[in-house]
Amino acid sequence: MSNDSKSGRRSGGQIICDVLLQEGVNAIFGMPGGASLPFYDALYHYPQIRHYLARHEQGAGFMADGYARAKNQVGVCTSTSGPGATNFVTSMASAQMDSVPVVYITGQVAREFIGTDAFQETDATGVSIPVTKQNYLVKDIDELPRTVKEAFYLAKSGRPGPVHLDIPKDIFLAETDAPIPDEIEVRGYQPASAGDSGMIRRAADLINEAKKPVIIAGHGVAISEAWDELRVLAEKVNIPVITTLHGVGCFPETHPLSMGMLGMHGMYYANIAVDQCDLLIGIGFRFDDRVTGRVSGFAPNAKIIHIDLDPAEIEKVVQTDVPIVGDAKATLAQLNPIVGRAETDTWLDYLSKLRSEHPSETPPDTDQFLPQHMIRQIYKHSDGKAKVIADVGQNQMWASQNFFYDHPLSFFSAGGTGPMGYALPAAMGVQVACPDDEVWCVTGDGGFQINIQELAAVAEYKIPIKIGVMNNGHLGMIRQWQNRFYDGRLMGAELANPPFDKVAEAYGIPGLVARTKDEADEAIAKARSIDGPVLIDFMVAENEDCMPMVFPGASLAETVEA
């Protein structure tokens, strides 16, 4: 079998596997079915690509997402037609919103049955249009090599995103001599590189004159791997750096210039810094409403420089003074040589005073075992070196607030669509991508149960993630909102949970319980000493609210601390 050749007569299934190999993909996450069996039969002959059997296609989608984010490369997942494909949709929407390069390969009924309501036929590409960067229903075997290659190219280049390949069953089997092209060009698709040099000059002028500048670093910095350039810019000019949720880790959070995360549950001082700054340098972020608060009250006194690869993000939400359409890394590389130290000492002194008076990142000092303590303890035990994958809700915000991320690509969260159930499968994908790293899945007791079935795959493949269930007996974030905004009328917020340690044990994964800070210390130490997956059920205080908070409709200036 010619496993990595670029030409010769091959089946559709082989072609896909060959492209996977060319693209350096060594793992694929999925579940087989009638329409994709010929693809599985091809995969059978490619032991270099390890298949991980997910227990739900959504799980497979999030595993590929985690894998892609951790490697900054394309992740791949696969399903059968119909229900397999529709089970992917939630993960596609998340990857689309969060710009994650995932290639979805779904089986489709054979060509002759398309359009006949055949068994397990769903118009999968019709469904995936709004939640993918591009999709294809491949009906001609001769076009398959180019199309698969193009899918990888589009997923990874420019602003990354999910690309969906819907492959009829008989196309997996059909054969062709058509070669896999080395290079892909797509007319009508030219991702930007560095920004316009005139604009970069203007940005430099503003930066050099600024008295109260801030940098907001977003996901784009991580995607373009611009963290070194970001650090040069911040240190050279002396500018405080704030990150979005997806930017966490792009700038060392223990660095004196780091001001943590901003937004709805951002650090008080970060939000105030943005409110009061005179120059806002936004790099690779999209002015999401969870970041800006009320837009009309956002950074009211600031000139705005916005660097983003996607022209559609420029002036989508706010007017900018210097719009730069460009890749973060390439643009900063041009910007850094023409900026110099600015007179920001007074501003930095002011901010550090603000921070010491409003230490948002410090958990309350109490004997109670608070959710914040759980995160802080994982931070301490792992020496800040763990990769953390958070689910959605309070746990997500605390995981970002109470751990100081000093390394890029060490905190992952599906912030754009906020799909509960993300953390467990995504953590599995991260661990598969980074087998030597310590990987923690931090999840609420609610979200954990959305993809809890993947514990079976954790056990089967002995994926050594540490699962920390932040068990507060509630859909915590829902409880918080109902308490604050619906006069405490809790409706659908309470959870009747099974003992999660026993659930884990039933799957063959060691399960521990921690009810106090001391027990948590012990459990974390024990979990880290076990060479393999472990689950800890952290029974934390039930009624803790996640603060600071910018209430819906309020501006960052109105950040509430307690």
Partner 1 sequence: MLSQREQSIQYSTMVLLVEDHPGVLTKVSMVLRRRGFNIASLSVGHSEQPGVSRMTIVVEGTGPRIKQCEKQLYKLIEVLNVYDLTEYDRVDKELAIVRISGQGGKRAEITSAAQAFDAEVVDLGKDYVTCQITASPYSIERFLEMASDFGIMELTRTGVVTMARGRKAGLGAQSVEQTEKEVTSQDGTL
Ligand X SMILES: Cc1ncc(C[n+]2csc(CCOP(=O)(O)OP(=O)(O)O)c2C)c(N)n1
Q: Which residues bind ligand X (CB under 6 A)?
A: 391-395, 418-420, 444-447, 470, 472, 474-478
Closest by CA position to 293, among listed 332, 313, 265? 265
Q: How far is the CB of 520 from ligand X (least distance, A)?
A: 16
Closest by CA position to 541, among listed 515, 502, 511? 515
Helices (H), 461-540: 476-485, 500-507, 517-529
DSSP-assigned letter for residue 296: G
> Quick one: which of 133, 231, 303, 376 contacts partner 1 (CB under 8 A)?
133
Q: How far apart are CA 203 and CA 332, in angstroms?
A: 11
Looking at the Cβ atoms of 334 and 395, the one nearer to ligand X is 395
User: Cα–chain-centroid distance for residue 270?
Assistant: 22
Q: Is 321 in the site for partner 1 (CB under 8 A)?
A: no
Q: Determine the 3-state secondary structure of 387 from DSSP.
A: strand
Looking at the Cβ atoms of 102 and 262, the one nearer to partner 1 is 102
Q: Is 119 a catalytic residue?
A: yes
Q: How far apart are CA 220 and CA 233, in angstroms?
A: 16
Q: Is 225 a catalytic residue?
A: no
Q: Is 316 in the site for partner 1 (CB under 8 A)?
A: yes
Candidates 306-314, 337-345, 378-386, 496-504 — which segment interacts with partner 1 by CB under 8 A?
306-314
Q: How far is the CB of 258 from ligand X (least distance, A)?
A: 25
Site for partner 1 in 181-210 (CB under 8 A): 186-189
> Quick one: which of 87, 125, 292, 413 contacts partner 1 (CB under 8 A)?
125
Looking at the Cβ atoms of 127 and 392, the one nearer to ligand X is 392
Q: Determine the 3-state secondary structure of 9 from DSSP.
A: coil
Buried b (16+ CB within 10 A) or exposed e, 301-310: ebbbbbbbbb
- Please pick, among 31, 397, 420, 477, the residue that the annotation labels catalytic: 477
Q: Is 56 in the site for partner 1 (CB under 8 A)?
A: no
Q: End-to-end CA distance of the chain, in Å?
A: 65
Q: Are 267 and 360 in contact (CB under 8 A)?
A: yes
Q: Is 489 in the site for partner 1 (CB under 8 A)?
A: no
CA-to-CA dists, residue 251 to 231, 260, 291, 324, 388, angstroms: 7, 9, 18, 21, 16
Q: How far is the CB of 122 from ligand X (least distance, A)?
A: 21
- Please pick, among 57, 121, 229, 313, the residue that the annotation labels catalytic: 57
Q: Is 539 a catalytic residue?
A: no
Q: How far is the CB of 360 from ligand X (least distance, A)?
A: 18
Q: Are 296 and 233 in contact (CB under 8 A)?
A: no
- Please pick, among 119, 353, 385, 462, the residue that the annotation labels catalytic: 119
Q: At what angle do helices 328-335 and 197-209 cross, to 10 degrees?
A: 60
Q: Is 120 a catalytic residue?
A: yes
Looking at the Cβ atoms of 282 and 425, the one nearer to partner 1 is 282
Q: Is 169 a catalytic residue?
A: yes
Q: Is 129 in the site for partner 1 (CB under 8 A)?
A: yes
Residues in touch with partner 1 (CB under 8 A) = 125-126, 129-130, 133-134, 137, 154, 186-189, 310-312, 314-316
Point out the residues that are catalytic.
57, 119-120, 169, 477
